[in-house]
Amino acid sequence: MTQQDTTRASVFAAHPGRGEEKSRFQIDYAAFGPLLALAILIGLGAILNPTFISIDNLENVLARSAFIGIIAIGATFVITSGGIDLSVGSMAAFSAATMIVVMNAAAPLASSGYAAIAAGVAAGFLVTVLAGLVNGAAITLGRIEPFIVTLGMMGILRSLVTWFADGGALTLDFAVRELYRPVYFGGVLGLSWPVIAFLAMALLGDFVLRRTVFGRHIAAIGSSEDVARYSAIKVSRIKLLAYVVQGVCVAIAVFLYVPRLGSATPSTGLLWELEAIAAVIIGGTLLKGGRGRIWGTVVGVLILSLISNLLNLTSIVSPYLNGAMQGAVVIIAVLLQRPSQR
Amino acid sequence: MTLKRTLIAATMLGLAGTATAQEEKIRIGVSIPAATHGWAGGLNYHARQAIDRLQTQYPNLEIVLQTAANATEQVNDIEDLNSGTMTALVILPFESAPLTAPVKEIASQGVYVTVVDRGLSEPGIETFHIAGDNPALGREAALYINSKLPDGGEVVAMRGIPTEIDNQRVEGFKKALNSSIKILDEKHSNWNRDEGFAVMQDYLQRFPKIDAVWTQDDDTTLGVIDAARQAGREGEFFIVGGGGMKQIVQMVKEGSRQDVPVTVSYPPSMIATAIELTAEHFVSKIPLDGRYILNTSLITKENADLFYFPDSPY
């Protein structure tokens, strides 16, 4: 896409998707590609091991994907605005560490375990929103490249977790954990809470990105910051908000993550940022900004989780080659959506 | 990284500056992996404890601790250790092969080298070598599983971060395991709790019958316990880990979980032994030359107390 095209796409942002379609009957490869890759993957998996498509297995994979998924929904906003956030993995670890420390400290003082959980969750949200604000402010007010700001934040938060945990593990108080456990393992109508939260966040994210003024401004800024500025869009404020949205998404993911294993270690959330970014790009969001697809991101996350699940369920490939398989599928999935970007 | 190297270089320069001022300064560099997983966290804890203790005790002793996240970083770190001012280097190599040449270079400049745990690829570089017994960690686990499944059975194994340690442990495990016991699969869970949880979830989906799980790492065991609980298959199999993490040792000691009856020791505190002995060699001139292999033993309800350190992070 040339610069001109990109700019035009933002003008058409009022009718998302339509600006890119050349005719009504042409297949939109960008939307279709990731779905096709997902379908192939599921088909292949079902042939290799029938367990793969069992409800229990899919439920496991969905629940596991929920953390990266919710974080990736936030990343879709940041990337659509033309930015990038490399600090989400460390932010998740830091938020988890904060939640656990506060819950453990509050448990003996609070009247009920639920109060301790509420205090911990509030603290966890507070730190991620703050981290998002600092990222956003350094990028907009400080005029530093997002890559550098968030790379710095990644290092700072990761070290803080290691320092908090003294290099070991922070473990949630046993009684609190038993109360909190159903948030990951419970659910309604056969769906676990993480899956429900993932779905709800996707619906909400899609609505905000496509149907609200905020979402359209994000895409417009990602297409061309200058044009957006001339159009009287408050560029700095919107960009800053995108990083705060990312922070909130991380906090929601961590809220679901902590009850799973009840611990945070220096390796918690390691490389989640790359998984989230990969999922966003597989889903058809442009890395340079201007076009975001929340549902594409959801499909991207599922593709990534299903690959590692499938590799665990089979013994065809040497486990040394897991990374190579994942890398290959990522590239193929993105290749499948190339025609529309020509 | 660059900042860290600059800082280390600056520290070294600072040390070099004071060298002329004070006499008989003993400088020891300690290079170990960063606290990126539980066991390494314990390693860092015990290293810092030992260093604090020694520096308080001997004012003329200067110990610099470097932690590296991977082998390349570790090579950079020890290259930055200005060997001209170093008395000794205590190193736990991330990987044997890439660290061999740089450590040899330092040793050739007259620096005393203590190697901890993983050996270097070439013999004779170090003067003192202290190590745990990696093949034995696998072997002890296998022997216990043999004793519990005399009529054979099916086990799933988990591998660690792909390194020589992992290979040695897995090899030791397979060699000692009875031929009547089948290893269903061995996936990498990288000595990590989250990945242990995910890999176990998938194993549970895939295999209707599992008699035992070998995780080779206690952190991973905790993930496995939760996966089993979620699938409603707790108690169907027993889990053998390794390392001697305090939560697991406590379970073994109290007998609170039937499915975690034992674990295998692999004490990260061996770094403290290495630092203390190396320091004493120069301060008190105790003889130190040769190899010291720590026994790897099965931690059971009876002896768990000996392996329980409630204050350690690991």
pLDDT in tens, B292-313: 988 888 999 999 998 888 877 7
Q: What is the CATH number of the domain that holds A211?
A: 1.10.3470
Q: How far apart are CA B309 and CA B306, in angstroms?
A: 8
Q: What is the pLDDT along chain A (342 residues), one digit of tens a residue?
A: 444 444 444 444 444 444 444 445 555 666 677 888 888 889 988 888 888 888 888 888 998 899 999 999 999 999 999 999 999 999 999 999 999 999 888 888 877 778 889 999 999 999 999 999 999 999 999 999 999 999 999 999 998 988 888 767 788 887 888 888 888 888 888 788 999 999 999 999 999 999 999 999 999 999 998 898 898 889 999 999 999 999 999 999 999 999 888 888 888 888 899 999 999 998 888 888 888 999 999 999 999 899 888 888 887 777 777 778 888 888 887 887 665 544
Q: What is the pLDDT of residue B4?
A: 57
Of B37, B44, B201, the CB nearest to A60: B201
Question: Is the minimum CB–CB distance between B128 and chain A shorter than 8 Å?
Answer: no
Question: Is the minimum CB–CB distance between B36 and chain A shorter than 8 Å?
Answer: yes
Q: Which residues contact B33 (CB under 8 A, 6 or more apart)?
A: B40, B43, B67, B68, B69, B74, B92, B94
Q: Which residues contact A103 (CB under 8 A, 6 or more apart)?
A: A116, A117, A119, A120, A172, A173, A176, A180
- Containing domain of residue A132, as a range? 3-341
- CA distance, residue A29 to nearest chain B CA (Å): 33
The angle at the Cα of A300, spanning B228 to A37, to the nearest 5 degrees, equals 100
Q: Which residue of A has its CA nearest to B40?
A: A167
In angstroms, how far is CA A235 from the centroid of its own chain? Answer: 23
- CA distance, residue A182 to nearest chain B CA (Å): 11
Q: How far apart are CA A291 and CA A280, in angstroms?
A: 11
Under DSSP, is residue B68 helix (H, G, I), strand (E, B) or coil?
strand
Determine the longest span between alpha carbons in chain B, in angstroms: 71
Closest by alpha carbon to A162, among B34, B149, B90? B34
Q: Which residues contact B312 (CB under 8 A, 6 or more apart)?
A: A168, B42, B45, B46, B246, B269
Under DSSP, is residue B90 helix (H, G, I), strand (E, B) or coil?
strand
Is residue B24 classed exposed, middle or buried when 0-12, 13-18 and 19+ CB atoms within 10 A define those classes? Answer: exposed
Closest by alpha carbon to A162, among B242, B38, B51? B38
* pTM for the predicted model, two decimal places: 0.77
Strand boundaries in chain B, DSSP class E: 26-33, 61-68, 88-91, 112-116, 128-131, 153-159, 181-188, 212-214, 238-240, 263-264, 290-293, 298-299
Chain B residues within 8 A of A308 when measuring between CB atoms: 198
Q: What is the pLDDT of residue A74?
A: 95
Q: Are residues B247 and A171, on separate chains, in Cβ contact within 8 Å?
A: yes
Of A167, A265, A309, the CB nearest to B202: A309
- CA distance, residue A30 to nearest chain B CA (Å): 31
- CA distance, residue A187 to nearest chain B CA (Å): 13
End-to-end CA distance of chain A: 6
Q: What is the pLDDT of residue B280?
A: 92
Q: How far apart are CA B284 and CA A184, in angstroms?
A: 56
Question: Are B123 and B109 contacting, i.e. CB atoms less than 8 angstroms apart?
Answer: no
Question: Is the minimum CB–CB distance between A155 and chain B shorter than 8 Å?
Answer: no
Chain B residues within 8 A of A268 when measuring between CB atoms: 194
Question: Are A59 and A202 contacting, i.e. CB atoms less than 8 angstroms apart?
Answer: no
Q: Are residues A267 and B314, on separate chains, in Cβ contact within 8 Å?
A: no
Q: How far apart are CA B303 and CA B295, in angstroms?
A: 14
Closest by alpha carbon to B18, among B64, B54, B57? B64
Long-range contacts of A209-215 (CB under 8 A, 24+ apart): A209/A76, A209/A77, A209/A80, A209/A292, A209/A294, A210/A16, A210/A294, A214/A238, A214/A241
- CA distance, residue A256 to nearest chain B CA (Å): 14
Closest by alpha carbon to A106, among A117, A92, A118, A116? A116
Q: What is the pLDDT of residue B123?
A: 81
For chain B positions 191-220, those within 8 Å of chain A (CB to CB) are 192-194, 197-199, 201-203, 205-206, 219
Domain count, chain A: 1
Q: Are residues B37 and A267, on separate chains, in Cβ contact within 8 Å?
A: yes
Tell me which of B14 and A83 has the higher pLDDT: A83
pLDDT in tens, B141-184: 999 999 999 999 999 999 988 877 888 999 999 999 999 999 99
Q: What is the pLDDT of residue B9?
A: 56
Q: How many CB atoms lie within 10 A of CB B171?
A: 14
Give the residue-averaged pLDDT of B89-118. Answer: 88
- Helix (H) or strand (E) run with residue B2 in it: helix B2-19
pLDDT in tens, A119-156: 999 999 999 999 999 999 999 999 999 999 999 999 99
Q: Whole-number mean pLDDT of chain B? A: 87
Q: What is the pLDDT of residue A5?
A: 45
Question: Are A71 and A95 contacting, i.e. CB atoms less than 8 angstroms apart?
Answer: no
Of the residues A51, A57, A60, the best mutation for testing chain B's interface (the one with the most B CB atoms within 10 Å of its CB) is A60
Q: Which residue of B has its CA nearest to A268?
A: B194
Q: How far apart are CA B246 and CA B48, in angstroms?
A: 18
Taking the CA atoms of B116, B122, B128 and B131 in sequence, report the sign of the dihedral they define.
positive
Determine the longest span between alpha carbons in chain A, in angstroms: 65
Q: How confident is the model at residue B20 (pLDDT cuts 50, 70, 90)?
A: very low
Question: Is the minimum CB–CB distance between A320 and chain B shorter than 8 Å?
Answer: yes
Q: What is the pLDDT of residue A93?
A: 93
**Amino acid making up residue B227:** A
Q: What is the pLDDT of residue B6?
A: 59
pLDDT in tens, B53-77: 999 999 899 898 888 888 888 888 8
Is residue A92 classed exposed, middle or buried when 0-12, 13-18 and 19+ CB atoms within 10 A define those classes? Answer: buried
Of B37, B185, B197, the CB nearest to A315: B185
How far CA B269 is from CA of A120, A230, B71, in Å, comes to 33, 63, 21
Question: Is the minimum CB–CB distance between B226 and chain A shorter than 8 Å?
Answer: yes
Q: What is the pLDDT of residue A212?
A: 94
Domains of chain B: 2-132+268-283 (3.40.50.2300), 134-264 (3.40.50.2300)
Q: How far apart are CA B120 and CA B104, in angstroms?
A: 9
Chain B residues within 8 A of A270 when measuring between CB atoms: 36
Chain A residues within 8 A of B207 when measuring between CB atoms: none
Q: Which residue of B has its CA nearest to A320?
A: B162
Question: Is the minimum CB–CB distance between B118 and chain A shorter than 8 Å?
Answer: no
Question: Are A39 and A172 contacting, i.e. CB atoms less than 8 angstroms apart?
Answer: no
Which residue is it, tokens 């092969």?
B97
DSSP label at B19?
H
